[in-house]
Amino acid sequence: MRIATWNVNSITARLPRLLAWLESSGTDVLCLQEAKVAEDRFPVEELRELGYESAVHATGRWNGVAVLSRVGLEDVVKGLPGDPGYEGSVEPRAVCATCGPVRVWSVYVPNGREVDHPHYAYKLQWFEALKAAVAGDAAGGRPFAVMGDYNVAPTDDDVYDRAAFEGLTHVTPAERAALASLRETGLSDVVPRPLKYDHPFTYWDYRQLAFPKNRGMRIDLVYGNAPFAEAVTDSYVDREERKGKGASDHAPVVVDLDV
């Protein structure tokens, strides 16, 4: 079984590439982030033609998440119970579904913006709600994973230059502590380092030739429980999909399972 996560940075803008990638990659389950489209405009029919069902939680031009599956789609949950919301609004940042033998969350963790910004406090509160929402499945006997754009680099090795991020979000002790607290539910990072290269980054800014210079970050993560981690046979970051015209600023992260 092949399962993946990908921040597509607008499914409308990326649809031709998404459809082509699904056909060529052999992916069974794909967790999407930043759909940036209302649910009634999500390309359900185009995906169905390729054999994928869609569980979508989206409201418009910002955020939006989905789970695409060609191995079944059941017990869908949209949003986090206890989501703290931001400025009085609950944003579409999480969706969960059972896909064959595996249950997954697709998550788009708040960016945080700046350390002294209210969005940063919201980010840490959102992590607390995520931990509460996944704890039961994380400790269970069914393969389970929380996949997506975490907007946190777990270690200094997960950014191209730690000094370049001094005083910025994504690398602060509090954000990394939130990740560690999430792992305490029984989850672990199932994409090891190094892979086929020294720095398996998953995100590169569009500006200042960040991708050609490999000035990236590893912020798209697959956290699985013990049954999920034990089933992993391979994993990789599909850097090729970050290349060329019309690419997302994130690359897909792919995990193969023997389940």
**7 annotated binding-site participant:** yes
**63 annotated binding-site participant:** no
122 close to 164: Cβ distance less than 8 angstroms: no
* Location of structure tokens 């290349």: 243
> From the candidates 28, 137, 149, 158, which is the catalytic residue?
149
b/e 83-103 (16+ beta carbons within 10 angstroms → b) = bbebeeeebbbbbbbbbbebb
For residue 194, cis peptide bond before it (omega within 30 degrees of 0): yes
Residue 195 CB contacts under 8 Å (≥ 6 apart), including other chains: 235, 236, 237
Q: Is there a catalytic annotation at residue 117? A: no
Strand 94-99 and strand 220-224: the pairing is unpaired
> From the candidates 122, 137, 220, 250, which is the catalytic residue?
250
Q: Is there a catalytic annotation at residue 52? A: no
**249 annotated binding-site participant:** yes
**34 annotated binding-site participant:** yes
C-alpha distances in angstroms, 123 versus 118, 145, 181, 222, 244? 9, 20, 14, 19, 32
Q: Where does residue 16 rank: exposed (0-12), middle (13-18), buried (19+ CB within 10 A)?
A: exposed
**225 annotated binding-site participant:** no
Q: Is there a catalytic annotation at residue 122? A: no
At residue 128's C-alpha, the angle toward residues 42 and 201, to 5°, is 60
**205 annotated binding-site participant:** no
> From the candidates 52, 108, 203, 223, which is the catalytic residue?
108
19 close to 51: Cβ distance less than 8 angstroms: no
Q: HEC states along 79-96?
A: CCCCCCCECCECCCCEEE
Residue stretches of the annotated binding site for Mg(2+): 7, 34, 149, 151, 249-250
User: Active-site positions?
Assistant: 108, 149, 250
